[in-house]
Structure 1
Amino acid sequence: MIDIVFGDSACGSLRLAQRYGKGEYIMDGPFAVFISHEDGSEPTQEEIEAAKREAVEKERLAWERAVPLGGNPEDIFGFDLVLSVGDISEIQPGINRVQILGNLYSIYPNSDWQQVVQEIVSKAKEDMKTVEERAASGESLRIWYSNKPDEMCGLYWFMDHLDQWKVHDGQVFVVKLPEWEANEEGEIIQKSCWGEVAPGEWYRYITLQKPVLPGFIQSCATCWKELQRENSLLRAVVNGQLVSVSEKFYDDFILREIAAEGNEFNEAKIIGQVLAKYRLGIADFWVALRIEEMIRAGMFEVVSDAAEDMPHYHRVLKKCI
């Protein structure tokens, strides 16, 4: 079985899930915990140690409850192409996708993002060729997706390729991430994408696997071709449907959070609030780029820049209008 995901985090987590829970739990490597107080005070050493013990115990329980998925890491392919943003007219990801990813990732500290994204796109093309060859030999494929725009775009994009490959009936399966679920304590949990699923949780979703009919593949392929024809700067999931939208589609959410702040505000805080509060399924770089556009429009000005080793949005801005 070939597994297809649409993000690096999901790819790494799913590979760990293949062996997660096998054998006795042994904590190895560094372990980090994060503690914060509303009043900004530093946590005591006792609080830190208690948090570490709680985290280790939680990890041990997750390990013991988990069911290893089995399989080989070579069977998992992750396509982290951020297809919800920018030009999608290319049949295969190429120079346009390199330029888009380079622009998106430029908000992070790195001397040469163009080289990094060139490697991402090149690997995606190589992996797609491998998947095509294995699919032609009769191997089954399982696609993991959610309502996150990038994962929904990935699904449509991949189905378009499957339609071109003429895969056999009964060869393709999908698993869609539930919009909400209840944990062992009865609490309602919402995950935006497969990248938020821990290695010890993947086994719970195998029962959601469904076979894909040829008509579904063709329908997705048709929709993707229509999105390619429209070729907007942004795509979003609206009422469960993947549609082309204006690049300003999420601006109201951003401006709403900024309006609640004083004359000067921390841009990183705004981005965090937008992502956590509205669960739009978008990444920090898109919010940061939209705020950058607002700065160019004269709505805000930079009061202090971010440190060299931090993303560009770790800075203070000031309202101008």
Structure 2
Amino acid sequence: MIESTHDGNPLLTWGGAPHFRFRDLLHRLFSMANQGFLRLEFLQMATGSILEFLACDVLEVCLEEGGKRYRCRAEAGEGGLRFYSGLDAGDPAQLPDQILASVLRGQFLAASPFSTRAGSFWTSDSSRPVLLRENGRHDAQAHSVVIGGDYRSLAFVPVPVDERIRGVLHLGSRKADHFTRNDVQFFEGVGETLGVAVAFQAAQWALRERVKELDCLYGIAQVSQRDGGTLDDQMQAIVELLPPAWQYPELTCARILLNGRCFDTPGFQETPWRQEAGLVVAGKLRGAVRVHYLREMPAFDEGPFLQEERNLIEEVAHQVGLLVNRGEDALAKAKLFHMLEQRRE
């Protein structure tokens, strides 16, 4: 439980510990956000750190972005923390998920005293009836519901990120009357901190991904400008540029298929987790550029692949097509020139 100080600021003391514990949490969150982890990896580590800090029995972080909902859950038990993470819309038939979704969208579902101005909802005993309003409409008829479940005390706190990403902290304790209004207001401060860390992580991740993409395309441009290499040499050099540009380089292999010939990265394997773009040369389909993951990975925009990776593989295929076309044009011109020279002789 949070112990408010004499000046009423719960951020200065938590559980009798000095405020440097909160500063330590800040440092840990932003340090993790700056280390290049993927969204779910970052959320899992952040969830464990916040649960340890708040000493609840369960804590879930839910983020919604672009129609996708990321959920990471940590539960404290005798064997330590247990984690669940993934892309999951939840079960709308379950009251906790209904409340979570409404807090996520900034709707006030509960009548006072179970909500705050910041949009949080909590109950000190989930076995007692709670007065709710459907869809957050204040003109709707309120009705009593019992949330129930294993956790007697529940809190749902907004995590403000930006206009694209919205989030919720879902906290639970097996003890009744574990959360107070002061606790929930403190949780809102933690939620705001997490929101800033999420925005920072998203910006850092996007920057790293763009750098990887630019490195790949710059590498292709360099290959196309080399003198003396054969087309086969160029295709092999380009295919080896692809894995480092995808999310999981160590689990990525690639193939360029051109005119029935394959140019593969070392250790290439055909797997079900494939992203492909057609290789068009002078308006004709002549092959494909393929990227495979060696094992199943979390789902994103296109199976385990990102929309940005779809854009990249399409651009790679386009650049390879231009390279092949230029090479064939140059070869055709050289042959024509040679024929003209022979006629003059």
- TM-score tier after normalising by the smaller chain length: under 0.3
Higher strand share: 2
| Rg (Cα) greater in structure | 2
Higher helix share: 1
Give the structure, 1 or 2, with the largest relative contact order (CA under 8 Å, sep 6 or more).
Answer: 1
